[in-house]
């Protein structure tokens, strides 16, 4: 039986169960997504974009899916202490793939702003949800998105109406909690109406030592003049596989920042699709991963400049140790007529051991002439001279190596526009390099 | 700005100069591709049995393949049965001296500026001229043979040095390498063979000039260069074709073997007919070029100026197997009108302390599409490997495209690789700066394009640099240079 078959059978058998627990908006694209999945299957390594990540293998084991929506016995608010000091974020939880709605932050959001469960949102505001849900992430092109769309039952929504500014950052914590191997199909939908502003921090955590697999589809709609920050911090376990696909559609003069940081993981595939559809839109896409053991991070970015006068900046850094694997494949597409485009892409990688592998493929595809586009890619080691300089000043080699590694990774953090988070990330990264942080300590024993 | 756009337009609409047809008696075999045709080619060339066997193996393998579609190219369906795989100027015997060569043929090469005649001693270049499928004349053979250098047509080499040919042919580009390599291995008709013995520094540039003349034919030549220990050779290749409305196929193989301390410099000025301004006609140029740095401290350097062909699909590559070996790739690719190019290089680092350098400059104009595609591969054993790649694209019209697809696979932690790419057009500031200093916009465009390509042009041997400059002129403007 191939990897797809068990999901096809699962859906055929449990379609009604899935439909019962989800709202009409989520159910609407399900049949089409199922057809797409049957047609596409999982992308194999023969697919150029998935050359270095064996997707069918990751999906082959028999994972449990909480189709019947049993409540997972956990109260994350009582035990979760991973709050970022001075950030005073509004905290929300997704446990496996269900929105945790039994208790929510008391602090009030500005009027009209919705932050909460996708299913609830889709039931309360079917019109808005229907207009955006599954509109950016096309199930017809990617088998994993198709699978997610056909199985998704809940998720998180952030809706900010016109001209509203959400001052306090919003934090969403994805928690994996289970006693058996579990799969979760997660959705995040962000709707930023014109001239609204918000910041969202998403953390991925795995609590138990069983195998976890998540598919995540994140859709971001930034209206005219909207300003949105999306920070994604993955702190899972070696037994966790994650396939995330972020789709952002930006209108004129909107500004979107996406920053994806992987500190601990097993197998991660992050797809980023950014479309600049209105003039003078700006996009910053950056990311970093610190890898060791057998960890694997595969980043694939597609930035599309469809109209003139847009700017995109891209920066991805990988630090590879042990037998880890890093993949970066970035594409900037400048469509015909998208004049005065500025697009810059940088990928820098640090390979510290012989067994570490780095595959990099930055690409430019340009169909307009009045553009400024560049990409740069380097793979190498820390500068021996810098190391010698530090050592000659009495800094032990180990310490000097750590200092230089931190410095190497630091400029991705310059793109963090939340001071509290920036400090927190600095210290997390430092701990990570010092080997003190095999897993976010605060999250352990989350269950009593 | 109106002005400069107009000038760029004029500049980019130069004509193809080498589009004439030589009226010469030709022997063309009938169209089609099957085992009988291959046997016929083999018989015509009086080939030994092992070579026929090689061809047939390649052909049978080719039958199992499908035309690759991964390149950023729109290739119309090619009917491989509608091509004649062998065409040759009719001669009674192999010409002993220039007098015996058809005067029409001489005129052709004169028109092309190829110094076939030995009186052009001063140009100091040995030439092997290949018209359609066969080598017409190789000059300076005697001078070279004094030093033990073998420079001859491929068919001659098969007759006179079968051991060398058998040893090296297919050792760098196997017939199983790709679709076009298999096709070429099955039907190749001629080409050049060079052998530089141990310790010999080849005293002159060796050159091959390829010319497609006959209609409805394809050209499939093979070049094999073997540089023994501590030898050096600089090899040049040029090509042109008549203007025809149909598309003609050119699928060649170039193999280079550089042994210990040897250095091979391979320069190409590719000027096949690019098709007319509506994109009609032109050569499909699908070429496999690869060099093997077999010995320690060996070096292979590719320099190419690509201005012709309707479609170019070409990746001159280096396998850096010897320790401390080095590979270089310098390229200027110009596409205009409806031309398409997908070109670049592959640097495979296998030995320790191997170095590679890639400099690629793309210039796109009209409605053309110009892509750089490259791979830098560092194997686990390639300790201390070093690579630097630089790919720049210059866009001269709003309707053309410039793309870069560099791949980097690093499997050794001591490797340092860098890649940079930029894409831009000639900026208004640059033009203004020149204008302000009394340089007309037309001259300024020329100046900037030439300056942009200079890094690569400088790597060409003198004789070729002049031709390449002229070519840039023809391809891009009336008065660049």
State how beta strands B282-293 and B317-320 pair: parallel
The predicted pLDDT at position B122 comes to 38
Average pLDDT over residues B210-223: 77
Across the interface, do A363 and B413 touch by the CB < 8 Å criterion?
A: no
Q: How far is A296 from chain B (nearest CA, A)?
A: 14
Residue of A nearest to B412 (CA): A354
The contacts of residue A82 (CB under 8 Å, 6+ apart) are A173, A203, A205, A440, A442, A443
Instruction: Say what the ipTM of the complex is.
Output: 0.73
Q: Which of B380, B397, B412 sits opposite A369 (nearest CB)?
A: B397
The predicted pLDDT at position B108 comes to 63
- Residue pair B179/B67 in contact (Cβ under 8 Å)? The answer is yes
The predicted pLDDT at position A418 comes to 86
Is residue B139 assigned to a domain?
Answer: yes
- Residue pair A182/A210 in contact (Cβ under 8 Å)? The answer is yes
Q: How far is A365 from chain B (nearest CA, A)?
A: 4
Give the span between the Cα atoms of A346 and A328, in whole angstroms.
Answer: 10
Q: Which of B396, B400, B423 sits opposite A373 (nearest CB)?
A: B423
Which token pair is A43?
């992308």
Q: How far is B177 from chain A (nearest CA, A)?
A: 18
The predicted pLDDT at position B101 comes to 57
Q: Which of A366, A370, A379 sits opposite B403 (nearest CB)?
A: A366
pLDDT tens across B311-337, in order? 999 999 999 999 999 999 999 898 888
Is residue B7 assigned to a domain?
Answer: yes
Across the interface, do B380 and A376 touch by the CB < 8 Å criterion?
A: no
Give the span between the Cα atoms of B253 and B168, in whole angstroms.
Answer: 13
Which token pair is B324?
């401390």
Residue B234's DSSP bridge partners are: B265
The residue ranking higher by pLDDT, A298 or B11, is: A298
Per the rule left: phi > 0, alpha: psi between -120 and 50, beta: everything else, B123 is alpha
pLDDT tens across A296-316, in order? 999 999 999 999 999 999 999
Q: Which of A349, A354, A374 sits opposite B422 (nearest CB)?
A: A374
- Residue pair B347/B418 in contact (Cβ under 8 Å)? The answer is no
Whole-number Cα distances in Å, B288 to B11, B255, B343: 32, 8, 11
Any idea what the Cα angle at residue A319 is, between residues A315 and A321, rounded to 5°?
A: 160
Across the interface, do A363 and B404 touch by the CB < 8 Å criterion?
A: yes
Give A-chain residues touching B419 at CB under 8 angstroms.
360, 362, 375-378
Give the span between the Cα atoms of A112 and B178, in whole angstroms.
Answer: 61
If DSSP codes are grouped into helix, strand and coil, which group holds residue A38? Answer: helix
DSSP string, A190-252: EEE-TT-EEEEEEEEEE-SSS-EEEEEEEEEEE-TT-EEEEEEEEE--TTEEEEEEEEEEE-T
Residue with tokens 């056909």: A150
The predicted pLDDT at position B152 comes to 85
Which token pair is B135?
């080598």
- Residue pair A172/A84 in contact (Cβ under 8 Å)? The answer is no
Which token pair is B320?
């850096």
Average pLDDT over residues B31-43: 89
State how beta strands A357-366 and A325-334 pair: parallel
pLDDT tens across B178-188, in order? 999 999 999 98
Residue span of the structural domain in which B89 resides: 2-476
Is residue B471 assigned to a domain?
Answer: yes
pLDDT tens across B424-443, in order? 888 888 889 999 999 888 77
Across the interface, do B423 and A364 touch by the CB < 8 Å criterion?
A: yes
Cα–Cα nearest to A377, from B422, B452, B346: B422
Is residue B198 assigned to a domain?
Answer: yes
Average pLDDT over residues A341-353: 90
Residue of B nearest to A379 (CA): B417
If DSSP codes are grouped into helix, strand and coil, which group holds residue B75? Answer: coil
Question: Is it the case that residue A79 has pLDDT exceeding 60?
Answer: no
The predicted pLDDT at position A113 comes to 93
pLDDT tens across A221-254, in order? 999 999 999 999 998 889 999 999 999 999 999 9
Under the banding of pLDDT at 50, 70 and 90, the label for residue A444 is very low
Cα–Cα nearest to B67, from B246, B223, B286, B279: B286
Across the interface, do B410 and A379 touch by the CB < 8 Å criterion?
A: yes
Give A-chain residues touching B430 at CB under 8 angstroms.
none
What is the Cα gyration radius of chain B? 22
- How high is the mean pLDDT of chain A? 88
The predicted pLDDT at position B293 comes to 95
Whole-number Cα distances in Å, B408 to A273, B317, B346, B417: 22, 14, 10, 8
Please state which of the ranges A165-179, A369-383, B114-128 shows the lowest mean pLDDT: B114-128
The predicted pLDDT at position B126 comes to 62
Residue of B nearest to A336 (CA): B399
Whole-number Cα distances in Å, B120 to A445, B113, B130, B140: 88, 11, 19, 11
Rounded to 10 degrees, the C-alpha dihedral B376/B381/B385/B388 comes to 10
Across the interface, do A375 and B415 touch by the CB < 8 Å criterion?
A: no
- Residue pair B415/B446 in contact (Cβ under 8 Å)? The answer is no
Across the interface, do B405 and A368 touch by the CB < 8 Å criterion?
A: no
The residue ranking higher by pLDDT, A35 or B366, is: A35
The residue ranking higher by pLDDT, A327 or A370, is: A327
The predicted pLDDT at position B118 comes to 43
The predicted pLDDT at position A235 comes to 87
Q: Chain A residues contacting B, CB < 8 Å?
A: 48, 336-337, 339, 349, 351-354, 356-381
Whole-number Cα distances in Å, B478 to B32, B129, B467: 41, 29, 15
- How many of the other CB atoms lie within 10 Å of CB of B358? 25
Across the interface, do A358 and B408 touch by the CB < 8 Å criterion?
A: yes
Per the rule left: phi > 0, alpha: psi between -120 and 50, beta: everything else, A253 is left
State CA B154 to chain mean position distance.
Answer: 17
pLDDT tens across B232-251, in order? 999 888 776 666 677 888 89
Q: Which residues of B197-207 are buried (b: 16+ CB within 10 A; e: fewer)?
A: beebebebbbb
Coarse DSSP helix, strand, coil percentages of chain B, rounded to the nearest 5 percent: 25, 35, 40
Q: How far is B200 from chain A (nearest CA, A)?
A: 38
Report the Cα–Cα distance between both ends of chain B, in Å, rounded: 22
Is residue B481 assigned to a domain?
Answer: no
Which token pair is A213?
């697999």
Strands (E), B25-82: 26-28
Pick from B381, B423, B424 the residue to mutate for testing the A interface (most A CBs within 10 Å). Answer: B423
Q: Report which listed range, A22-36, B1-15, B411-425, is most confident.
A: A22-36
The predicted pLDDT at position B256 comes to 95
Q: State the total domains in chain B.
A: 1
Question: Is it the case that residue B348 has pLDDT exceeding 70?
Answer: yes
Is residue B423 assigned to a domain?
Answer: yes
Whole-number Cα distances in Å, A434 to A84, A296, A401, A406, A430: 20, 20, 10, 10, 6
Q: Which of A353, A359, A374 sits opposite B408 (nearest CB)?
A: A359
Across the interface, do B419 and A370 touch by the CB < 8 Å criterion?
A: no
Strands (E), A79-224: 90-95, 98-99, 114-117, 156-160, 170-176, 182-192, 197-206, 212-222
Q: Calculate what percentage of chain A has a pLDDT beyond 70.
A: 94
Give the span between the Cα atoms of B401 and B333, in whole angstroms.
Answer: 13
């Amino acid at each position: 039986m191939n990897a797809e078959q068990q999901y096809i059978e699962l859906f055929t058998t449990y379609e009604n169960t899935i439909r019962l627990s989800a709202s009409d908006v989520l159910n609407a694209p399900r049949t089409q997504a199922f057809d797409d999945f049957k047609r596409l299957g999982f992308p194999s390594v023969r697919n150029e974009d998935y050359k270095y990540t064996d997707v069918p293998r990751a999906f082959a084991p028999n994972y449990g899916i909480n189709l019947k929506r049993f409540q997972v016995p956990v109260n994350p608010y009582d035990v979760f202490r991973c709050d970022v000091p001075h950030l005073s974020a509004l905290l929300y939880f997704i446990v496996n793939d269900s929105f945790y709605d039994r208790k929510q932050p008391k602090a009030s959001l500005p009027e009209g702003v919705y932050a909460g469960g996708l299913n609830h949102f889709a039931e309360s505001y079917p019109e808005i949800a229907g207009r955006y849900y599954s509109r950016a992430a096309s199930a017809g092109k990617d088998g994993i998105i198709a699978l997610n769309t056909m199985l998704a039952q809940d998720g998180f929504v952030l809706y900010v109406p016109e001209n509203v500014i959400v001052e306090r950052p919003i934090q969403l914590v994805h928690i994996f909690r289970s006693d058996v191997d579990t799969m979760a199909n997660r959705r995040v939908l962000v709707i930023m109406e014109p001239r609204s502003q918000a910041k969202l921090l998403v953390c991925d955590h795995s609590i138990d030592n069983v195998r976890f697999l998540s598919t995540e589809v994140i859709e971001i709609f930034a209206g005219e003049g909207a300003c949105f920050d999306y920070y994604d911090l993955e702190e899972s376990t070696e037994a966790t596989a994650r396939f995330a696909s972020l789709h952002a559609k930006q209108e004129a003069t909107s500004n979107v920042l996406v920053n994806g940081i992987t500190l601990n993981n097993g197998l991660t595939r992050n797809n980023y699709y950014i479309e600049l559809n209105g003039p003078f839109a700006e996009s910053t896409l950056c990311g970093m991963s610190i890898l060791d053991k057998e960890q694997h991070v595969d980043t694939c970015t597609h930035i599309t400049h469809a109209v003139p006068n847009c700017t995109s900046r891209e920066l991805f850094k990988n630090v590879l140790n042990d037998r880890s694997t890093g993949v970066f494949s970035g594409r900037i597409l400048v469509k015909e007529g998208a004049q005065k485009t500025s697009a810059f892409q940088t990928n820098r990688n640090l390979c510290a051991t012989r067994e570490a592998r780095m595959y990099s493929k930055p690409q430019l595809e340009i169909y307009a002439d009045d553009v400024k586009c560049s990409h740069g890619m380097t793979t190498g080691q820390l500068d021996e001279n810098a190391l010698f300089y530090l050592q000659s000043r009495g800094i032990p080699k180990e310490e000097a190596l750590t200092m230089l590694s931190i410095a190497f990774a630091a400029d991705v953090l310059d793109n963090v526009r939340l001071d509290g988070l920036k400090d927190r990330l600095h210290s997390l990264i430092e701990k990570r390099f010092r080997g003190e942080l095999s897993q976010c300590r605060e999250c352990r024993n989350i269950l009593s | 700005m109106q002005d400069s756009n107009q000038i760029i337009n004029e500049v980019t609409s130069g004509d193809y100069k080498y589009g004439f047809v030589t009226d010469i008696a030709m022997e063309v075999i009938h169209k089609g591709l099957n085992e009988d045709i291959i046997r016929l080619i083999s018989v015509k060339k009086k080939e030994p049995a092992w070579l026929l066997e090689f061809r047939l193996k390649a052909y049978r393998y080719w039958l199992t393949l499908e035309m690759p579609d991964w390149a950023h190219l729109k290739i119309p369906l090619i009917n491989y049965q509608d091509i004649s795989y062998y065409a040759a100027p009719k001669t009674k015997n192999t010409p002993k001296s220039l007098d015996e060569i058809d005067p029409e043929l001489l005129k052709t090469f004169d028109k092309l500026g190829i110094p076939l005649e030995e009186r052009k001693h001063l140009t100091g270049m040995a030439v092997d001229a290949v018209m359609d499928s066969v080598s017409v004349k190789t000059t300076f053979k005697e001078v070279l043979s004094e030093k033990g250098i073998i420079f001859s047509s491929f068919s001659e080499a098969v007759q006179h040095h079968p051991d060398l040919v058998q040893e090296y042919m297919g050792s760098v580009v196997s017939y199983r390498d790709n679709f076009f390599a298999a096709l070429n291995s099955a039907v190749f008709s001629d080409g050049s063979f060079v052998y530089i013995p141990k310790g010999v520094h080849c005293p002159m540039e060796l050159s091959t000039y390829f010319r497609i003349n006959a209609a409805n034919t394809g050209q499939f030549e093979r070049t094999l260069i073997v540089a023994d220990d501590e030898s050096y050779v600089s090899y040049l290749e040029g090509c042109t074709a008549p203007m025809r409305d149909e598309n003609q196929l050119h699928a060649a193989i170039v193999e280079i073997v550089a042994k210990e301390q040897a250095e091979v410099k391979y320069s190409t000025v590719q000027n096949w007919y690019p098709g007319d301004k509506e994109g009609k006609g032109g050569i499909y140029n699908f070429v496999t070029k690869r060099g093997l740095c077999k010995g320690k401290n060996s070096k292979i350097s590719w320099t190419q100026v690509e201005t012709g062909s309707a479609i170019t699909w070409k990746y001159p590559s280096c396998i850096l197997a010897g320790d401390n070996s080095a590979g270089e790739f310098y390229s200027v690719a110009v596409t205009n009108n409806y031309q398409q190019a997908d070109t670049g290089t592959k640097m495979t680092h296998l030995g320790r302390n191997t170095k590679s350098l890639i400099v690629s400059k793309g210039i796109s104009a009209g409605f053309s599409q110009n892509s750089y595609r490259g791979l830098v591969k560092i194997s686990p054993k390639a300790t201390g490997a070093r690579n630097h790649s630089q790919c720049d694209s210059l866009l001269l019209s709003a309707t053309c495209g410039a793309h870069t697809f560099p791949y980097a696979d690093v499997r050794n932690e001591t490797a340092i690789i860098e890649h940079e790419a930029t894409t831009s057009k000639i900026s208004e500031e640059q033009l203004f700066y020149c204008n302000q200093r009394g340089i007309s916009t037309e001259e300024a465009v020329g100046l900037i394009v030439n300056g942009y390509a200079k890094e690569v042009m400088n790597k060409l041997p003198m004789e070729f640099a002049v031709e390449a400059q002229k070519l840039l002129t023809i391809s891009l403007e009336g008065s660049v240079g």
